[in-house]
Amino acid sequence: MTDRTIDPALTSWIEVARDSDFPIQNLPYGVFTPAPEKPARVGVAIGDYVLDLAALHEAGAFHTTPIAGENLFAREVLNDFMARGPETWDAVRGRISELLRTDNPELRDNRILRDRALFRREQVTMQMPAAVGDYIDFYSSREHATNAGSLFRDPKNALPPNWLYLPIGYHGRAGSLDVSPAQVRRPRGQVKPTADAPPIFAPTSRLDFELEIGFFVGVGNRAGNPISTAEAAKYIFGAVLLNDWSARDIQQWEYQPLGPFLGKSFATSISPWVVPLAALMPFRVAGPIQEPPVLPYLRYAGEWNFAIDLEVWLKTAAITEATRLTSTNFRNLYWNPLQQLAHATINGARMRPGDLFASGTVSGATPGSLGSMLEISRNGQEPIMLAGGESRCYLEDGDTVTMRGWCEGGGYRIGFGECTGTILPARA
């Protein structure tokens, strides 16, 4: 995969703050409505603005690209554009960068088109960026798997016997995906308060977040044709922040032997801006050494972890000051996205444009780097002290969780924006 717009020296005629998530080196894609009565369309974020790609296409701005004859941006989702593949992605990304470059007057000095195509980000409403047919959630952080296994199972055998041999995952519910800012209704389900008592039906009392990165599939594969690690990057369109909300008491009672079900399927939130894989390429780093050696279909060449700083903040209904719960980095993930996609298709399973697969909870090795309240509070045994004197073991009604992520270096920052969700009470 190539990318000709990632030059760290590039600047835009749109003023972009030094600490902005969205410089010209990023150009993440999203779907937005500029006003309630207006149809949704595709845009990119640049600084504090959204650039309407549908309006640019109507004006002939993409006449030199492979999509000159078809306005793929006058759509309510990114799927059709995703399906066109990396050559088209790179050509369009290069053209957008060219239009925004400081020394290019083509859009800068065209006031009529500029007024039609530029919106302040706070004035638009973001939509789900893609129609997701299938959603997979992996379990790829060794630190998280060890912590969770120690709490749910025998600490001496925290990792399942297959964990070091394959990326464990489960199929989530695409219909429960929502875009940030989200409202998450506290789910009800079967819980087992004590080991000796039968289960009861009640609202979860152990509502949790999970800090993850999600990857959108661009080009699909044919059924029966696995995607190799050598080719996987060509199939990945971009990445988002992802919160796989979890009801730990429901999960703990139901998950054996088939894994997560109702404890996970009620809600999953993603950030609205899809950061292109091309924008993340300069921030690739080596992953952990995998021992024992993986099977041949999971081997890969090069560095395919990403140095993404991640944070989680919690604000309660009573206190306006947020508390940072987590500061960690995606670079330590044991199973990388190429391996995840290769494993998901090794049996011939089909991926389609817009399908989503998630990393699983990202945790580090230190107490301040844990990616879920299950780990931070040790399943409720150690309350978390918050700003203003409140404490939490798990999320309460009115709490707002905000996730942030970014890569930084070379004089610029590639950010994801925010993935935010607020907890609503369970239905009566």
Number of CB atoms found within 10 A of residue 221's CB: 18
- The whole-number pLDDT of residue 36 equals 84
User: Rounded mean pLDDT of 383-405?
Assistant: 96
Mean pLDDT over each residue of the chain, to the nearest integer: 95
pLDDT of residue 388 exceeding 90, the answer is no
Q: Has residue 1 got a pLDDT over 60?
A: no
pLDDT at 116 over 60: yes
What average pLDDT score do residues 303-325 get?
Answer: 96
**73-96 per-position pLDDT tens digit:** 999 999 999 999 999 999 999 999
In which band, very low, low, confident or very high, does the pLDDT at 5 lie, cut at 50, 70 and 90? very low
Instruction: Please report the pLDDT score of residue 80 as a whole number.
Output: 98
Query: Does residue 276 carry a pLDDT above 70?
Result: yes
CA–CA distance, 108 with 282 (Å, rounded to integer): 28
What does the pLDDT read at residue 2?
A: 47
337 phi and psi, to 5 degrees? -60, -35
pLDDT, average across residues 276-292: 97
- pLDDT for 325-362, tens place per residue? 999 999 999 999 999 999 999 999 999 999 999 999 99
With a cut of 70, say whether residue 3 has pLDDT above it.
Answer: no
Share of the chain above pLDDT 70, in %: 99
* Residue of 57, 144, 171, 343 marked active site: 144
Question: Phi/psi of residue 258, each to 5°?
Answer: -95, -5
HSE (side-chain half, CA atoms, 13 Å) at 105: 1
| pLDDT higher than 50, residue 270 | yes
Q: Which pLDDT value is given to residue 224?
A: 96
Domains along the sequence of the chain with CATH = 29-127 (2.30.30.230), 135-424 (3.90.850.10)
pLDDT at 392: 97
Q: Is the pLDDT of residue 4 over 50?
A: no
Q: What does the H/E/C string look like for the chain? A: CCCCCCCCCCCECCCCCCCCCCCCCCCCEEEEECCCCCCCEEEEEECCEEEEHHHHHHCCCCCCCCCCCCCCCCCCCCHHHHCCCHHHHHHHHHHHHHHHECCCHHHHCCHHHHHHHEEEHHHCEEECCCCCCCEEEECCCHHHHHHHHHHHCCHHHCCCCCCCCCCCEEECCHHHEEECCEEEECCEEEECCCCCCCCEEEECCCEECCEEEEEEECCCCCCCCCCCCCCHHHHEEEEEEEECCEEHHHHHHHCCCCCCCCCCCCCEEECCCEEEHHHHHHHEECCCCCCCCCCHHHCCCCCCEECCEEEEEEECCCCCCCEEEEEEEHHHCCCCHHHHHHHHHCCCCCCCCCCEEECCCCCCCCHHHCCCHHHHCCCCCCCEECHHHCEECCCCCCCEEEEEEEEEECCEEEEEEEEEEEEECCCC
Across the range 204-218, mean pLDDT stands at: 98
Q: Is 63 a residue of the active site?
A: no
pLDDT for 365 beyond 90: yes
CA angle 72, 236, 298 (to 5 degrees): 160
| Cβ atoms of 214 and 358 closer than 8 Å | yes
For position 155, what pLDDT does the model report? 86
Predicted confidence (pLDDT) per residue in 45-75, tens digit: 999 999 999 999 999 999 999 999 999 999 9
pLDDT higher than 50, residue 384 = yes
**Cα–Cα distance measured from residue 61 to residue 161, given in angstroms and rounded to the nearest whole number:** 55
Task: Give yes or no for residue 6 having a pLDDT over 60.
Answer: no
pTM of the model: 0.96
All residues at 6 or more sequence positions from 161 whose CB lies less than 8 Å from its CB, including other chains: none
